[in-house]
Amino acid sequence: MNSAALNQYPPALDATALRADFPILDQPVNGHPLVYLDNAATTQKPQVVIDAVADFYSCDNANVHRGVHRLSQRASDRFEGAREKVRAFINAPSCAEVVFTQGTTGAINLVAQSYGRSNLSKGDEVLVSAMEHHANIVPWQLLCEETGATLKVAPMNNNAELLLEDFTNLLSEKTRIVALTHVSNALGTINPIQKLTRQAHQAGAVVLIDGAQSVAHEPVDVQSLGCDFFAFSGHKLYGPTGVGVLYGRETLLEAMPPWLGGGDMIRTVSFEGSTWNALPYKFEAGTPHIAGVVGLGAAIDYLDAIGLQAISTHEQSLLALATQRAHTQPGMRIIGNASDKAAIVSFELDGIHPHDVGTILDSAGVAIRTGHHCAMPVMQFFDVPATARASFGLYNTAEDINALFDAITQTQSLFAR
């Protein structure tokens, strides 16, 4: 490797130093240092995010886009400033295309209800993948029930990789919406979104990407992905809960009817009828989660300073280490072995139910998720009631993986009695 190629690699990330930015990590749980490996459920918040939210309430709190008074102006500035940070973060062409929602779920439901209801009818099809989170299944089922459209499912193989040929074959002129997860929350699979989007566009469908599990773990550029809609949540991005983002192509958002009616989304209201505000406000009825949006902006600043590429490299090394350890751990099976994976390890231990695994790991201070991960069709496919899942974030270290495997060994010996 020459030095030019070496320079393309980001500087190594010092996870041990970064841990100091996250006050919650510095605590004992059940007498052990907390090992937080549930990042796919939600990430912890750095002090700068906590401070940004507290500072907003302490100094600038007011409603946005309404008052002529100073606080309202400052609140609006911070709110719109965060929108610009989000725009730059995902490389959206314009702030008009960045809609704040309650989260990924809210964003997907917005598209299903607004775009879906006005564009789909009987005979049309919505195509999803077999590895979707319930949030990218149920809104489409509701839409199909309302419009008479049909939900189609692109299958995956036993490694949890999408079957590309089947995906292609399922596309037709009937396909109006293709809704795919960027990264599977239950399996870790990274889907080849660029390629899938290109194919879906050739069939004439619009494409929505569920980015809940991708934005905090690799650089995301919505223009290079080519998708029409991209949804994600603040709380999986080291930001506050209750706030998320819908990116939508401006021409599509312009043509879509409002979903929720109320304040801030209108231009004029009379009892004879109302007219709608410009983008993105047309889709932001009611007082938004202003402090949450400000916190999300701070989280993006924090991640930008570290660099998403450095985070991705760090997490991939953790994934490689955990996968290698899992392969040598007797009685352990990883569910989800895609060749392109995010740092999520879903697993089973022979003869031990995931819930028991979760409780015993917790007694050792190790926090993982157990259950169906809001992906019951995935559990049905792999014929398991549930899995245990360790998911990694920027502050996790090789020591955390040691603690995880020590606790797994302890669980196995407890059950071997």
Partner 1 sequence: MNDLRDLYQEVIFDHNRSPRNFGLLEHPTHQAHGVNPLCGDELKVSLVLDKDGVIEDLRFEGRGCAISTASASIMTETLKGLSAREADRYFDAFHAMATGESPTPTDLPALTKLKVLSGVRHYPARVKCATLAWHTVRSALQNASASVTTES
Minimum CB separation of residue 349 from partner 1 in Å reads 12
Residue 286: helix, strand or coil by DSSP? coil
The CA distance from 133 to 139, in Å, is 11
Task: Determine how many CB atoms are found less than 10 A away from the CB of residue 58.
Answer: 9
By the rule CB under 8 A, 122 interacts with partner 1:
no
Query: Please, which of residues 1-20 interact with partner 1 by CB under 8 A?
Result: none
Query: Please, which of residues 277-296 interact with partner 1 by CB under 8 A?
Result: none
Q: Which stretch binds partner 1 (CB under 8 A): 2-10, 117-125, 247-255, 367-375?
A: 367-375
The torsion angles phi and psi of 269, rounded to 5 degrees, stand at -130, 130
By the rule CB under 8 A, 414 interacts with partner 1:
yes
Which residues are annotated as catalytic? Answer: 374
> Residue 281 forms beta bridges with which residues?
none
Are the beta carbons of 154 and 183 closer than 8 angstroms? Answer: no
Nearest in space to 55 (alpha carbons), one of 295, 269, 252: 295
Work out the angle at residue 296's Cα, subtended by the Cα atoms of residues 294 and 237, and round it to the nearest 5 degrees.
Answer: 170
Tell me the C-alpha to C-alpha distance, in Å, between residue 326 and each of 144, 152, 246, 332: 41, 34, 36, 6
* Given 12, 278, 355, 402, the residue binding partner 1 (CB under 8 A): 355
Beta strands 150-154 and 125-129, pairing class:
parallel
Q: Which stretch binds partner 1 (CB under 8 A): 218-226, 269-277, 285-293, 347-355?
A: 347-355
By the rule CB under 8 A, 408 interacts with partner 1:
no
* Given 33, 252, 398, 415, the residue binding partner 1 (CB under 8 A): 415
Question: How large is the greatest C-alpha to C-alpha distance in the chain, in angstroms?
Answer: 75
The CA distance from 229 to 369, in Å, is 29
- Contact string 236-275 vs partner 1 (x = CB under 8 A): ----------------------------------------
* Given 141, 356, 398, 409, the residue binding partner 1 (CB under 8 A): 356
Are the beta carbons of 234 and 103 closer than 8 angstroms? Answer: yes
Task: Kindly report each contact of residues 92-95 with a partner whose C-beta sits within 8 Å and lies 24 or more positions away, as own/partner.
Answer: 92/222, 92/223, 92/247, 93/223, 93/250, 94/250, 95/280
Strands (E), 34-119: 35-36, 98-101
Nearer to partner 1, 30 or 121 (CB): 30
By the rule CB under 8 A, 353 interacts with partner 1:
yes
Structure tokens at 268: 């004029």
Q: If you search the block for the tokens 């750095």, which residue do you land on? A: 46
> Residue 126 forms beta bridges with which residues?
151, 177
* Given 3, 271, 275, 417, the residue binding partner 1 (CB under 8 A): 417
By the rule CB under 8 A, 202 interacts with partner 1:
no
By the rule CB under 8 A, 350 interacts with partner 1:
no
Nearer to partner 1, 185 or 214 (CB): 185
Q: Which stretch binds partner 1 (CB under 8 A): 48-56, 196-204, 336-344, 365-373?
A: 365-373
Nearer to partner 1, 93 or 385 (CB): 385
Nearer to partner 1, 303 or 386 (CB): 386
By the rule CB under 8 A, 141 interacts with partner 1:
no
* Number of residues near partner 1 (by CB under 8 A): 19
* Given 25, 62, 151, 376, the residue binding partner 1 (CB under 8 A): 376
Task: Determine how many CB atoms are found less than 10 A away from the CB of residue 123.
Answer: 11
Nearer to partner 1, 287 or 359 (CB): 359
Minimum CB separation of residue 141 from partner 1 in Å reads 17
By the rule CB under 8 A, 370 interacts with partner 1:
yes
* Given 75, 379, 403, 407, the residue binding partner 1 (CB under 8 A): 379
Looking at residue 38, the DSSP 8-state letter turns out to be B
By the rule CB under 8 A, 134 interacts with partner 1:
no
- Contact string 18-47 vs partner 1 (x = CB under 8 A): ------------x-----------------
Are the beta carbons of 287 and 265 closer than 8 angstroms? Answer: no
Structure tokens at 100: 């704040």
The CA distance from 21 to 153, in Å, is 42
By the rule CB under 8 A, 360 interacts with partner 1:
yes
Residues that bind partner 1 (CB under 8 A): 30, 352-356, 359-360, 363, 370-372, 376, 379, 385-386, 414-415, 417
